[in-house]
Each structure stands twice: as structure tokens, then as C-alpha cells.
Chain A
Amino acid sequence: MKYLQGKYPVINKQALAHDVYSILILCPEVAKLAQAGQFVHILPTGFGLRRPISIAGIDKKNGVLRIVFVIKGNGTKAIADLKQGDFIDMIAPLGHGFTLMPEAEHVVLVGGGIGVPPMLPLAEYYGEKATAISGFRSFQQVILQEDLENYGAKTICCTEDGSAGAVKGFVTTPLEQLLTESVDAVFACGALPMLKAVAELCKRNKIYCEVSMEERMACGVGACLGCACEIKNADGEINFLHVCKNGPVFNAEEVCW
């Protein structure tokens, strides 16, 4: 695979919630290659390490990628400070994305907080065949529900305090119910405890599940071995694979939770 590094213009920036931003980037050669579940590795101006951010939208026709991210520190703050017309230095697209299953009739997308954005390209692909469960702490954090619906996905929004959405509590409550119906696959991204709970539910119900993992990265391309994730192979052998190259998407059954 040929890697692309370049500086691409920001064509739109929007605040979606407190400290959560959506940025559209004009990068036709990247958009052409990008797949659901992959990420871009952005260099915030003045920093030494890049920030991996999942791809939240792929518009191949117009050559535009969308990223949605939360400000976690000074690096993501610098990215959020970019304005329309500014250039964004990124290596992209990177990583191994979600499996697209053309025969699937019903898939469930589970996003927790800032794990919701990578579900968008899957919602676009699966459309009405997708049910998207999103979990947030409270109403202030709720994002992207309309975007998911615009792709045809059925949405179930959960908040821990019940201040928004149909469900008060965690994503696992509606997921457990859905898994009693016919579900071909579950795709999930979010905090580690959520992913672990989702993986366990899927295993118990014998439903195929893929999870998108997060880890601190340096190179982003598989050279430095920084972003280690314990993965067990078919023979039960445990190895540290790397989120940037082998992932970020892994078969949930192979992850050592």
C-alpha cells in the first residue's frame, strides 16, 4: 500500500457539542482510497507527534473526508483551532477498517461518545439494514443522530442520566434486546469497558463482532510498535499486534480483554 502524506485544505468546520468538532477536508486522493474504519494521522502545528483520528465521512465524488473529534489535550485543541482555508498535515488513509458485508440483512452499529463518528461510514454503507445504538453521558454530548438517520439507519440513543434519547443507561441494554433478533454482525467503537461489554454480549449470542480500538501512537504506519494491543490468534497464541496497522478494527473474539 502506498501511503499518502500531504497538506490538505479545511473546507468546513463546525462545533457539534462542547469540545466536539466536525471538520471537512478536501483531499481527493485520500478520499478515493479511504474505507470505513480507517483513520487519518494529523500533525497539529507545533507538535512532534501526530494524532490519530477516525474517519467519519467519505465523499469520494467530491473528494472530501470528514473527521469528528473531541478536544482531549493541546494537540487536538490545535486541530480544533484550524479555520476554513487552513491546511491540515496528514498521513492517510491508515489502518485496517471494518469488514463490509454485502449479504448482511441486519447489522448493529454501537458507538460510545466519540466512538460514534466512525459508525457514520458504516451507516452510509448499510443504510436501512443498520441499527445504530449510541451512548453518551448526558444530553450535552449527544452528536450525529440525524446524520445516522439521514443514511437510513434506525437510531437508538442512550444517555447515562436519561437526559436525552429513548434509553436511560448504557448501550448494552438495547443491544442485548436486539441480539435476540436476527443480527448478522455488530460493529463497535468506544471506551474500552463498553467494547468489552459489547464483545461479551456478542460472544454469548454467537454474533460476529468487530471493534475499533484506540491506543497512543507514534508512527501510525506500523514501524515503531508503539500502539500495542494484545491479540490471540486462531491457535490461541497471544501477540502484541498494532492498532495502527493490524487495526484499528479487530475481530472482537481475538482481542485479549
Chain B
Amino acid sequence: MADLSVNICGIDFKNPIIPASGVFGYGREYEEFYSLSELGGIATKGTTAKKRTGNLAPRIAETPAGMLNSVGLQNGGIDNFIAQELPNLLQKNTVILANIAGSTPEECAEVASKLDNTDVHMIELNISCPNVKQGGAAFGTSCAMAEQVTSVVRKATSKPLVVKLSPNVTSITEIAKAVESAGADAVSLINTLLGMRIDVNTRRPVLRNNVGGLSGSAIFPIAVRMVWQVANAVQIPIIGMGGVTSGENAIELMMAGASAVQVGMAVFTDPYAPIKIINQMQEFLDNKNISSVREIIGTVQPW
């Protein structure tokens, strides 16, 4: 049996598979299907300083091989997260990445500093949410802003800091280098791509927010490309994501340079997707007589 464990920023993961932020809530619903301890980690629903109500519905639209969402960071706020959700999550014997967001660098820092006093394992700073008017992707689409928000949050916490990058940029490598220089311990990518659908009968956008984030297997090749480019541009570890639906997809992202892999939309198709992906990775490695998943990280042989 191949060893699936990985280590990112000094944190041990029993396997590289992590349900992505936003698809998994705080794990409570999926715990009704299987034990959360089977997962490498959990990236929790994005948390802001204060409660946010989110966007009007419809927030969801299916697209070819994917989906659009415009949830808009609905969450109960950091105090609620720390009091109501985190204690439960920390008992689940899996790595908890608290995903945080804010409208200003100071708000992000406030959230991070509150988490600094908890036992959460890592902080994933979302500078790439396409569904909120302020902050969100605005931080993630300019090097200067990405650097500033990372640097302010860096000062607010000693927890391992993962910065989640937007693909809606001209050069993701420049942004990755900017957050690396500002003190990020790792980067995670890609967040959703901004998309839109229109109902041709009503001439109305399908989403009430008009636009939303595209995820699902449609974006997987973009994720592979961006992970590979970023892996060639920075020294810090990468958590890859974007349309992963199988163990082979996860292996592919790791060969492109990811040290761990998040799973998003696939969870909606099949709640057991993360577990199946772990098993498929195990099978792939065993069939190839590869003793540890760590051996495949960044091993793509480019032409």
C-alpha cells in the first residue's frame, strides 16, 4: 500500500484530498455519509468578520461539464465559526483549513487574528471570491493588492497561511510571486472562473447576481495549466483544485506541482467523491509500484 500522506507547511495530512471551501459547509452534512477522519483535510466555508447574508437566488446554474454559483459568501461570521463550528471540527481527526475573506485587508486580518488564538491548523485566505462586490477577487487580480492583503494578514497570524488565488487574471504567476514575497506559506488554486448564462426566453441572466463562478470538470485543464505555471514560479507549496472528479485527475494536478488537492463540485455529483478519489489514488500508485504519493509531486516531464 502506497503512502498517501503529505506535509504542507509542517502540517501532516494523512492523504492529499481536501473538500474545497464552499462545497462542504463545516462538514456536518457530509458526516452523515462517512467519517470525516477519512479525509486529508477540510477547507471550511469562507468566513468573514461579521455575518453575511449572501446573494439573492437563483445562486446556482448548471453548465456543460460544470456549474455556476453566486452564493456570495453567506456565513455566520468569525465569532460564530469559532464558537459553534470549529470545536466540533477539531475533534474530527483531520486537518482543518479555515477559509477566510473580507472586504478590506483589515477585515481579513481581524478574522485571521481571531483564529490565531484557536487550534485551527491552517488559514486559507480567499483573495479570489468572484461573488462579492468589495474585496474578494478585487484583492486577487492586482499584484499590489494581493501583496498588501497577504502582508497585513501575515502580521495578524502565526498559523500556516495559504492564499487562494483567482484564475481571472492575466498572469497568475505574478500574483503567486507577489503573495509569496508578502509571506504566504502556500498558495491554493484555482478559484472559480467568472462566467454567465442567459435564459434566452426571458432574456434574464440565469443567476440573480448576473454573473457567478464557474467550477466543475470544464475548468480542470485550466487548473492543471495554472498549477504547473505557478509551480515553476514559486518555492512555496501549492494546493491544487479546479474540476477534479477522479483519482487520476488528482494525480495529474500533483504531477503538475500540487502537494495536495481540493475537490469541489464533484461532491455535489457524488457526496462520496472525496473518498472514492482517495481510493483511486491509492490504486493508481499501487498499480505503478509507487511507494509514496509525495514521489509524484511536480514530476510532469514537459516537452
- Report 5 cross-chain contacts, Cβ distance below 8 Å, ordered by A residue: A5-B270, A49-B268, A221-B30, A227-B57, A238-B53
Stretch at the interface among B59-67, B86-94, B223-231, B277-285: B59-67
B-side residues, CB < 8 A to A, are 22-25, 28-30, 32-33, 45, 53-62, 65-67, 69, 71, 74, 216-217, 265, 267-272
B58 near A216 with CB under 8 A, answer yes
A29 on interface, CB distance cutoff 8 Å: no
Pairwise interchain contact A223-B61, C-beta atoms closer than 8 A: no
Given contacts A75-B62, A222-B29, contact A216 B57 (CB under 8 A): yes
Chain A contact residues, CB within 8 Å of chain B = 1-3, 5, 43, 47-50, 75, 91, 215-230, 238-240, 245
Rounded to whole angstroms, the CA-CA distance of A47 and B65 in the bound complex is 7
B217 — which chain A residues lie within 8 A by C-beta?
A: 48
Kindly list chain A residues whose C-beta atoms are within 8 Å of the C-beta of B265.
Answer: 48, 218
In the complex, the chain A residue whose C-beta lies closest to that of B57 is A228
Say which residue of A3, A217, A224 sits within 8 Å of B25 (CB atoms): A224
Say whether chain B's binding surface is mostly helix, strand, loop, or mixed. loop
A229–B56 Cα distance when bound, in Å, is: 8
B24 near A48 (CB under 8 angstroms)? no
Query: Knowing A3-B32, A48-B216 touch, does A223 contact B57 (C-beta < 8 A)?
Result: no
Given A216-B57, A219-B23, A222-B29, A49 and B271 touching (CB < 8 A)? no
Q: A225-B74, A228-B74 are in contact. List 10 more A-B contacts (CB 8 A).
A: A5-B270, A47-B269, A219-B29, A219-B271, A223-B25, A225-B25, A225-B54, A226-B57, A226-B60, A226-B69
| Minimum distance in angstroms from A224 CB to a CB of chain B | 6
| B67 and A217 form a contact (CB under 8 A) | no
| A3 touching B271, Cβ below 8 Å | yes
Q: Which residue of B lies closest to A215 (CB)?
A: B57
* A215-B32 contact, Cβ under 8 Å, with A3-B271, A240-B53: no
Q: Are A223 and B29 in contact (CB under 8 A)?
A: yes
Q: Which residues of B contact A91 (CB under 8 A)?
A: 271
B272 partner, pick from A5, A48, A219, A238, beta carbons under 8 A: A5
**A240 vs B58: C-alpha distance in the bound complex, in angstroms?**
12
User: Do B269 and A226 touch (CB < 8 A)?
Assistant: no
When the two chains form their complex, are residues B32 and A224 in contact, meaning their CB atoms are under 8 A apart?
no
Q: Contact between A218 and B33 (Cβ–Cβ < 8 Å)? A: no
In the bound complex, residues from chain A placing their C-beta under 8 Å from that of B33 are 3, 5
Contacts of A228 in B (CB 8 A): 54-57, 59, 71, 74
